[in-house]
Each structure stands twice: as C-alpha cells, then as structure tokens.
Amino acid sequence: MPHSIVRIRGGAEHFLAYPASAKDRIETGTVVTTVERVPPRTVYVSAVYGS
C-alpha cells in the first residue's frame, strides 16, 4: 500500500499517497508536494523536482 510521511503541524503524520496524475510513477524516497487531500488520510502528490 502506498504511503507518505507528511511534515505537518510541527510533527509528521502518515498518509496513503497516490500520484496526482495516473500516468506518473513515484519511486520510494522521492521528494513530493501534496496536490490534494481527501479526508481522513489520503493525499495525491507530485514529484517536486520532476524526477
């Protein structure tokens, strides 16, 4: 199951993370930015540096 650790509110929390674009594949360790959040614990992300 895909996951991401998000730094938020002075700490870090775990979220289920999916690529914002269905054609993207984000490898483990890639720095990402959150594009959308779906409560309670799902985020859609994109690679920050286009990797």
Distance CA 27, CA 12 (A): 20
What tokens appear for 35 in the block? 């594009």
Q: Please state whether the peptide bond connecting residue 19 to the residue before it is cis, i.e. omega within 30 degrees of 0.
A: no
Fill in the DSSP letter of residue 43.
Answer: E
Question: Does 44 have pLDDT greater than 70?
Answer: yes
Distance CA 19, CA 46 (A): 6
pLDDT of residue 50: 64
- 1-40, pLDDT tens digit by residue? 688 888 888 999 999 999 999 998 988 888 999 999 999 9
State the pairing for strand pair 42-47/32-38.
antiparallel
